[in-house]
Amino acid sequence: MAADFLFQVFPNSGLPIYRQLIDQVRHHVASGRVKPGDFLPSVRQVALELEVNHMTVSKAYSLLERDGVVELVRGQGMRVAPRPAASENGSVRERQEKLLPLLRQVAAEAYQLNLSTAQVKSLIDRVLKELDQS
């Protein structure tokens, strides 16, 4: 099953290490590879594996905690947080608003790439299918 380690970083990718980690955790959570209640590998374990400073991993974990993705359990580590109730972050409308800036960016980039709306939609279909269905 979990034959591979959860994380993989490219120090020279331009994207900072802690941010790569955050993105990967979010992706793992969204795709269902790690589920609410699961523990993430410890700060030092990840640091050792990836050969980075453990404070860098800690920074990633802390930011994830701030955003409610994981929760700290003292002495045990970081646990994936339960998914909040659908209404907890405001109405559907409000939550959609939060996604809007990112989608505008998608639209502008798609235009630049000369992709038709149909081509974009088929692509987003594909990506959404990767998600945990709930």
Partner DNA sequence: CCATGTGTATTGCTACACTAATACACATGG
Partner DNA sequence: CCATGTGTATTAGTGTAGCAATACACATGG
Report the interface residues with DNA, using CB under 7 A: 11, 16-19, 40, 42-45, 52-56, 58-59, 61-62, 65, 72, 74-78
3 binds its own copies (CB under 8 A): no
Instruction: Return d(Cα 102, Cα 72) in angstroms, integer.
Output: 29
Sign of CA pseudo-dihedral 46, 36, 91, 62: negative
Please state the closest distance from residue 123 (CB atom) to DNA, in A: 27
Three-class secondary structure assignment of 1-51: CCCCCCCCCCCCCCCCHHHHHHHHHHHHHHHCCCCCCCECCCHHHHHHHHC
Q: Using CB under 8 A, which of the segments 2-10, 22-30, 38-46, 53-61 binds its own copies?
A: 22-30
> Which entry of DNA, its own copies, none binds 43, CB below 5 to 8 A by partner kind?
DNA
Instruction: Return d(Cα 57, Cα 94) in angstroms, integer.
Output: 32
The helix (run of H) or strand (run of E) holding residue 56 is helix 54-66
> Which entry of DNA, its own copies, none binds 131, CB below 5 to 8 A by partner kind?
its own copies
> Which entry of DNA, its own copies, none binds 115, CB below 5 to 8 A by partner kind?
its own copies
Site pattern 59..98 for its own copies (x: CB under 8 A): --------xxx-------------xxxx-xx--x--xx-x
